[in-house]
Amino acid sequence: MTLDPRTIANRRWRRVVELACHAHDGPQVPSPCQSVCVMHPGTGWCEGCLRTLDEIAGWSRMDNTAKRAVWAQLPGRVVQRQQIESPLSDGPQG
């Protein structure tokens, strides 16, 4: 999925997308943590990094392949969260 970070108003989500582009580089896969740690009641994702509680709790035990799999999901979650925040933004402008 290609998502232009410049189109994302929420700075935390913009940073997640920016970092997702480089999460596969290097031998160590960084955590997407944004130090927010507040779970959205509808999605079950952290408002900062968009991971689930299971993904957050298991991060330190995940191998790099599993971490990259989580990172690969985050841009799609940003899109979904934006749609939740602005459900009418996809409709016709009048």
Tens of pLDDT, residues 31-87: 999 999 999 999 999 999 999 999 999 999 999 999 999 999 999 999 999 888 886
Across 15-44, average pLDDT: 88
Put residue 93 in one of left, alpha, beta given phi > 0 → left and psi -120 to 50 → alpha. Answer: beta
| pLDDT confidence of residue 22 | 77
- Are 19 and 30 a contacting pair, CB within 8 Å? yes
Beta-carbon neighbour count of residue 3 at 10 Å? Answer: 19
| pLDDT confidence of residue 92 | 47
Domain boundaries, the chain: 5-85
Based on C-alpha coordinates, what's the Rg of the chain?
A: 14
| pLDDT confidence of residue 21 | 80
Half-sphere exposure of 76 (CA within 13 A, CB side): 6
- Are 8 and 78 a contacting pair, CB within 8 Å? yes
pTM of the model: 0.81
